[in-house]
Amino acid sequence: PKPTKGRMRIHCLENVDKALQFLKEQKVHLENMGSHDIVDGNHRLTLGLIWTIILRFQ
Q: What is the set of domains in the chain, with CATH numbers?
A: 9-57 (1.10.418.10)
Q: Cβ distance 30 to 16 under 8 Å?
A: no
Helices (H), the chain: 9-25, 35-39, 43-57
The 8-class DSSP code of residue 40 comes to T
For residue 4, which phi and psi values (nearest 5 degrees)?
Answer: -85, 140
Q: Cβ distance 49 to 38 under 8 Å?
A: yes
pLDDT digits (tens, 9 = 90+) for 7-48: 899 999 999 999 999 999 999 998 889 999 999 999 999 999
Does 6 score more than 90 pLDDT?
A: no
